[in-house]
Homo-oligomer: A and B are copies of this chain.
Amino acid sequence: MNEMYWITPVTGIIGLVIAGAILGSITKRSGGEGKVAEIAEKIHLGAMVFMKREFFLISLFAVVIACLIFFFQKPEYAIYQAGAFLFGCLASSFAGFIGMYTATKANVRTTIAAKDEGAASALAIAFFGGSVMGLTVASMGLLGLGTLFWMFISGDHRPHVAEIMEGFAMGASLVALFYRVGGGIFTKAADVGADLVGKVEAGIPEDDPRNPGVIADNVGDNVGDVAGMGSDIFESYCGAQIATIAIAGAAGARVAQTGGDALLEKMGAAADKVETLMFLPLALTTIGLLCSVLGILLVRLMSAKEPAVALRIGTIGSAILYIIAAFITCSFFGFNANPAFAVLAGAAGGIIIGLVTEHYTGGKPVRDLAHQGETGVATVMIAGLALGMRSVAIPLLTLAGIISVSYHFVGLYGVGLAAVGMLGTVGITMAIDAYGPVADNAGGIAEMAQMGPETRKITDGLDAVGNTTAAIGKGFAIGAAGLAALALITAFIEKANLANFDLTDQAVLSTFFVGLFIGGIVPFLNGAITMTAVGEAAFEMINEIRRQFREIPGLLEGKAEPETDKCVDIATRAATKKMVLPAVLAVGTPIAVGFGFNALNDSGAIALTGTLVGALLGCILMALMMSNAGGAWDNAKKYVEDGNLGGKGSDVHSACVVGDTVGDPFKDTSGPSMNIIINVMAIVSLVIAGLL
């Protein structure tokens, strides 16, 4: 088998080359001139400031954590795990950087294409801008994980290949904390600050270039939905593959002891297939990247159609291809079709969860929510919260169904494969996510540069589609993060290798419950911290914008330039400062519970399992509730602004505006941060599992 393993990293490199080619084709287009180019450049530079600052901080933390791993991890693989960790940090940072770079180049080019060439061309650029992010995320994952697997599967370090790769996933998690949690705070601090002083106090329109915060606001869209979403998906993508490899590794250990394993029997394979079992998730994601590239081509071919149709054909086409390819792959490796059914369950489940999100944040529920504005703010709040709570039901049932089905076919290894199935075509699903902020920015630039209603109409159309895809993407990201975390937790339990984890044993049950209650606190505390952080960060932003309006003469009259970089700087600084507490919570809880209970009565692994279970359930529930309630409030406001129920300026509108303001940190900060928190907790637990 060994001679095949190079395929994964090489496919990663091919993916990067394609991404590079797309990037080149975008940047060689005209970036506009005059005011348009100036605004776009400011957004681009702001984004780069954020990325550089974060990268600097990530480097500091990464070095410290690498040293901790090096000194405290088991000596057999400490240095390799530390190296893989740094590699993971670099890979995720690089993907984020490329994605942000491209997105902030593609936005203005989309605007210009909309003006000069029409809708089809604008769609193509916005989508290709996003696809660079999608391809880079998938490619860096394959390059990183594939290289590590290839390097370490043969030779002395073979027994520790899963542990070494866990280092890579932990690197991805660290970056996700900065980009997704910190980024979530950045984007909403900038948004709220710019809106409040600009629109409410100074009475100038949204996206007005006189507003010092408006560039930070546009940067924020990219930070949250490009870098943030990308690092979130990258974390789940790596986590899913590594968990599956770790579960396969545990099966390998059983084979070594007993000469056979139920899992291999279920897959219709002999005992010598253990290594293939470990490679299978990588093989599947390798195929998945190729399917994504084909899907992206499909969108390109369809770009004359309605944007929504073109994007849907691409995504669904690529998913169907991927599932067919999964069946062929399993057969190629000498397995029966069982593992492919697990992949199918995951892929189908991801689509269901995405569609449920679309329903709750776009369909009749949103119109009903807007109607609640007729009886005031309070009913909008109550109905939105109720909608969010209700919206968890089908996604959780779907996750339960995925577990049942995939377990039925190939045991818990199947849960890992299902996550790989859900995330296999990340190249295109992430492309469609990242398309959203590019289209949004394109509209903002058109507005700021006053480019006329024709252009604006095209960008509005692209933006509307982007909102839907973003909603689906958010649901999908939660499902994927939940499933990846579940696979990691499963791998943790396998690795902890407990002699006794029998819940009918009173000692086990009581410890499990204690851990469970501790774990349940985490999502709620994280929700409280992140929501409060947005308020505090926005407050700093508000003060700065007020100061500039007060102290820069002629700013409001348009005679002087605002110091937009200062606002970007403040948002960046606030984001970094305020993400420390959630990060400590996510990293510290498993360490404290694991080692604490070990010291107490040697029950660290049991207590930590309880904590992970409680945190997993709470994080998924809160993520869904907050994202969907927030998305619904946002779209209810837009529904009113489209002229329904009295339109802009009506009482219904102001009620819905309050809903949207509460919904902003719900859907863009606290909700998405839950994905990161649970995955960080799971991967940290897996890394320390050997020490417990």
Q: What is A's interface to B at a CB cutoff of 8 Å? A: 376-379, 381-383, 385-387, 389-390, 392-393, 396-397, 399-400, 403-404, 407, 411-412, 415, 486, 490, 493-494, 497-498, 500-504, 506-507, 509-510, 513-514, 516-518, 520-521, 524-525, 527-529, 531-532, 534-535, 609, 613-614, 617-618, 620-621, 625, 658, 661-662, 665
Contacts and interface: CB of A to CB of B under 8 A. Distances in A.
Contacts of A662: 378, 381-382, 385
Nearest to A513: B403
B403 A510 contact: yes
20 contacts: A382-B662, A383-B535, A385-B662, A389-B525, A389-B528, A389-B531, A390-B529, A400-B514, A403-B513, A404-B514, A516-B613, A516-B617, A517-B620, A520-B621, A524-B621, A524-B625, A613-B613, A614-B617, A618-B618, A618-B621
Given A393-B525, A412-B509, 9 more contacts: A378-B661, A385-B662, A403-B513, A404-B514, A407-B506, A412-B506, A494-B504, A502-B502, A520-B620
A404 B503 contact: no
A528 B382 contact: no
Nearest to A505: B501
Contacts of A617: 516-517, 520, 614, 617-618
A175 to B, nearest CB: 26
A407 B513 CA distance: 11
A525 B378 contact: no
Contact of A389 (B502, B527, B613): B527
Contacts of A529: 390
A502 B500 CA distance: 7
A504 B506 contact: no
B521 A382 contact: no
A386 B528 contact: yes
B524 A393 contact: yes
Of the candidates A385, A404, A411, A513, the one having the most CB atoms from chain B within 10 angstroms of its own CB is A513
Given A509-B493, A518-B396, A658 B527 contact: no
A608 to B, nearest CB: 12
A386 B518 contact: no
B517 A382 contact: no
Contacts of A658: 376-378, 381, 658
A376 B625 CA distance: 24
Contacts of A661: 378, 382
Contacts of A387: 528
Contacts of A521: 392-393, 396-397
Contacts of A518: 396-397, 400
A510 B416 CA distance: 12
A379 B661 CA distance: 8
A195 to B, nearest CB: 11
Contact of A532 (B386, B490, B493, B501): B386
Given A382-B665, A617-B617, A411 B517 contact: no
A506 B535 CA distance: 44
Contacts of A503: 493, 501-503, 609
Contacts of A377: 377, 658
Contacts of A397: 517-518, 521
A501 B502 CA distance: 5
A531 B617 CA distance: 22
Contacts of A400: 513-514, 517-518
A613 B617 CA distance: 10
Contacts of A510: 403-404, 407, 411-412, 415
A377 B516 CA distance: 35
